[in-house]
């Protein structure tokens, strides 16, 4: 993780953040103010990297989630800096270890009696951020500006923007003409936003699941139908209609795929739990996979669709049953 606390500052960070958020293709944005400050917790007093941000859902900075900070920036109060002081602070494990701090610990800023914080969460920085065991603390931007002298011009060091649209690069460069736009988190900070790639992968996975599932079910049950043709011939000979047999075969196909769908949902849920547990242990504090309730009807609906798509082929096999041929063979 690259840390630069002496570079040129970007002014009007709050209104500029709103301006960038309004650009088409931008999924999330937060200004970031980087400072090196001495924090105190009990008898411990250590220097840490203090990051001021605008917390929002799905955004992480230096590998630390901002989910435990109040959304927005209450203390900013439209530039008056007299709003509610949240005093919320997220510590990396490295910073918490130096300060001997845990959730709920009181933390102060050396030399500033009025600047008090409370640890809202202690997190392990994700390895992808490059922060590792670096002592990092994340607070609201306005509160960071208040303790480091950035309120006069509402300054920040950089903006972290989440987007999947390369075309916004020119729009971002125009916000601060002398600034530089770096792709893929080149500044050492990371943000996770919504991804169109994920949607494309999901659609592709759905199509593949339906096609492969239909072919598999049609082949497997088709072999079963072929093996039971003698039984079907007997049923037809005693007066059972072909339509009735078709209904039986269709019901069998849907029942088999529905059972497979239920099994897939159970295994998928277990896989998500296992993946998140491993990720939290070795990579990051945040979940990397989700199992929303909508997955259940989606999975069962896909299973039923596979069964229905395989049915015409199975019914066709039943209708080709030659009663006389099979009875003569018997």
Calculate mean pLDDT across residues 310-321.
Answer: 82
The predicted pLDDT at position 327 comes to: 52
- The H or E element containing residue 135 is none
Q: What are the distances in angstroms from CA 199 to CA 194, 326, 330?
A: 9, 51, 55
Nearest partner of 169 among 152, 153, 149, 183, judged by Cα = 183
pLDDT tens digits for 46-62?
999 999 999 987 677 88
- Average pLDDT of the chain to the nearest whole number: 82
The predicted pLDDT at position 266 comes to: 93
Residues 6+ apart with CB under 8 A from 231: none
SS3 content of the chain, % helix, strand, coil (to 5): 45, 20, 35
The predicted pLDDT at position 69 comes to: 92
The predicted pLDDT at position 82 comes to: 92
Residue 98 CA to its chain's centroid (Å)? 30
The predicted pLDDT at position 318 comes to: 78
Nearest partner of 309 among 212, 204, 223, 226, judged by Cα = 212
pLDDT tens digits for 12-37?
999 999 998 888 888 888 899 999 99
Reply yes or no on whether the pLDDT at 289 is more than 80: no
Calculate mean pLDDT across residues 153-181.
Answer: 85
Nearest partner of 159 among 34, 36, 1, 65, judged by Cα = 34
Calculate mean pLDDT across residues 116-123.
Answer: 92
- The H or E element containing residue 142 is helix 141-148
Instruction: Please give the structure tokens belonging to residue 80.
Output: 């008056």
Instruction: Please give the structure tokens belonging to residue 230.
Output: 């003698």
pLDDT tens digits for 180-223?
887 754 444 444 344 466 678 878 888 998 999 999 999 988 88
pTM attached to this predicted model: 0.56
Dihedrals phi, psi of 106, to nearest 5 degrees: -85, 135
Domain boundaries, given as residue ranges, for the chain: 13-175, 196-329
Reply yes or no on whether the pLDDT at 170 is more than 90: no
């Amino acid at each position: 993780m690259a840390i630069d606390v002496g570079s040129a500052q970007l002014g009007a960070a709050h209104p500029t953040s709103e301006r960038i958020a309004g650009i088409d293709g931008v999924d999330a944005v937060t200004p970031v103010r980087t400072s090196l400050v001495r924090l105190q917790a009990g008898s411990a007093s250590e220097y840490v990297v203090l990051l001021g941000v605008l917390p929002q859902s799905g955004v992480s900075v230096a590998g630390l989630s901002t989910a435990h900070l109040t959304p927005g920036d209450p203390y900013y109060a439209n530039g008056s800096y007299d709003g509610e002081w949240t005093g919320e602070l997220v510590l990396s494990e490295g910073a918490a270890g130096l300060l001997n701090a845990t959730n709920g610990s009181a933390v102060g800023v050396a030399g500033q009696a009025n600047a008090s914080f409370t640890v809202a969460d202690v997190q392990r920085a994700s390895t992808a951020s490059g922060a590792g065991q670096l002592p990092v603390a994340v607070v609201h931007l306005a509160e960071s500006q208040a303790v480091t002298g950035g309120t006069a011009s509402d300054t920040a060091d950089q903006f972290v923007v989440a987007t999947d649209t390369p075309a916004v690069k020119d729009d971002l460069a125009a916000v601060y003409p002398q600034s530089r736009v770096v792709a893929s988190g080149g500044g050492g900070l990371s943000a996770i936003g919504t991804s169109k790639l994920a949607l494309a992968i999901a659609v592709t996975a759905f199509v593949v699941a339906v096609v492969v599932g239909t072919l598999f079910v049609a082949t497997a049950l088709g072999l079963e139908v072929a093996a039971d043709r003698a039984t079907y011939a007997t049923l037809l000979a005693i007066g059972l209609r072909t339509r009735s047999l078709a209904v039986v075969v269709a019901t069998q196909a849907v029942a088999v795929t529905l059972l497979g769908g239920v099994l897939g949902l159970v295994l998928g849920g277990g896989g998500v739990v296992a993946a998140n547990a491993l990720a939290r242990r070795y990579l990051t504090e945040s979940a990397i996979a989700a199992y929303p309730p909508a997955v259940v009807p989606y999975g069962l609906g896909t299973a039923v669709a596979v069964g229905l798509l395989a049915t015409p082929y199975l019914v066709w096999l039943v209708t080709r049953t030659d009663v006389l041929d099979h009875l003569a063979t018997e």
